[in-house]
Amino acid sequence: MPKKPGKTAARAAKASVAAKSRKAATKRPKPAIDTAEQRIARALEAIAASLAAAAPKLKNQGEQLSAAEAFIWHPEGRLAPVPRVSRVDLELLQGIERMRDILIENTERFAAGLPANNALLWGARGMGKSSLVKAAHASVNAKPEVAGLLKLIEIHREDIESLPALMTILRASQFRFIVFCDDLSFDGNDASYKSLKAVLEGGIEGRPDNVILYATSNRRHLLAREMVENERSTAINPGEAVEEKVSLSDRFGLWLGFHKCSQDEFLAMVRGYCAHFGIALDDTELQREALEWATTRGSRSGRVAWQFTQDLAGRLGLRTAMK
């Protein structure tokens, strides 16, 4: 018997209404499009919240600066104390006496609150640039008139953009600070050098009176040649690119050049290390082994002299722990 058309149509209509109801129930309203004012308001609220969260941390760090003589800066706003600084004694640094005396004098003036210059130590690898900075800090900081008020803070090359934040923390402190960046240079499209320029001399606030910057580099000019060429290709005046290259190094008032050492200087370094650690060996034999070691390494430097001393002490069963 055929179905009645009225009932079939009624059931179809009821199913259609139910399907529309389910679709309407699951359909979500489109979110309203943020206006520029709303986005700005949210950004300002986020900035205010981050500043409020950072304020106690900065205060606590200021209270903890007396806990150590050296710190490592972390770009999120933290100064990590260094319980034991890895360094050599000042008297062990041979062949760099002139640079040593200049840097010590500059550091002493700064520690005494007198005018002093930012320093760039540049030149041959392994000739004691970073060792001299750490040794100079220890030597000056141990003087009775300084009495531990001179702090050493290391900032890594990749964190240079956070220098302004570090300056904000240090500016109000009672201590004096050497901010030290090892192996500083800029390559490719890296624009973080502009933060360094602003802190050295170019910014509105500039460098705080209680902060000095010491940096080491293997090259005299901190900007790579390709960076200068890129600037030259887009500059209205190509000469401005060269000026940009020179201007960064110019902001370091003190330039100390380190060059490859002679054979006599290399042997003096080896003898100095051996005497310091009590390594007794016939001088003729010591000289022969040291020069052979330098030949196999293809260079003579303070680093190579130290590595030879480590090897020699190990073979003789002696320890060479630094202070």
Residue 237 to residues 5, 89, 227, 243, Cα–Cα distance (Å): 89, 49, 16, 10
pLDDT of residue 77: 87
pLDDT of residue 133: 96
The DSSP annotation for 157-210 comes to GGGGGGHHHHHHHHHT-SSEEEEEESS--B-TT--THHHHHIIIIISSS-S-TT
pLDDT of residue 210: 95
DSSP three-state, residue 130: helix
pLDDT of residue 124: 86
List of residues 6+ apart from 60 with CB closer than 8 A: none
Backbone angles phi, psi at 258, to 5 degrees: -115, 125
Average of per-residue pLDDT across 13-30: 57
DSSP conformational letter for 279: -
The 10 Å Cβ neighbour count of residue 287 is: 15
Pair 70, 81: CB distance under 8 Å: yes
Element (H, E) at 306: helix 302-316
Residue 247 has pLDDT above 80, yes or no: no
Amino acid at 215: A
- Nearest residue to 77 via CA among 178, 151, 203, 162: 162
Q: Is 86 exposed, middle or buried (0-12, 13-18, 19+ CB in 10 A)?
A: exposed
Residue 143 to residues 209, 227, 270, Cα–Cα distance (Å): 21, 43, 28
List of residues 6+ apart from 2 with CB closer than 8 A: none
Per-residue pLDDT tens digits for 101-151:
999 999 999 999 999 999 999 988 889 999 999 999 999 999 999 999 999
Mean pLDDT is lowest, of 101-105, 216-220, 256-260, 302-306, for 216-220
Interstrand relation of 119-123 and 150-154 (parallel, antiparallel or unpaired):
unpaired
DSSP conformational letter for 223: B
Tokens of 154: 């290391």
In the chain, the N- to C-terminal Cα span, in Å, equals: 108
Confidence class for position 88, pLDDT limits 50, 70, 90: confident
pLDDT of residue 236: 45
Per-residue pLDDT tens digits for 266-289:
999 999 999 999 999 999 999 999
Average of per-residue pLDDT across 312-321: 87
Average of per-residue pLDDT across 180-195: 73
Element (H, E) at 241: helix 239-250
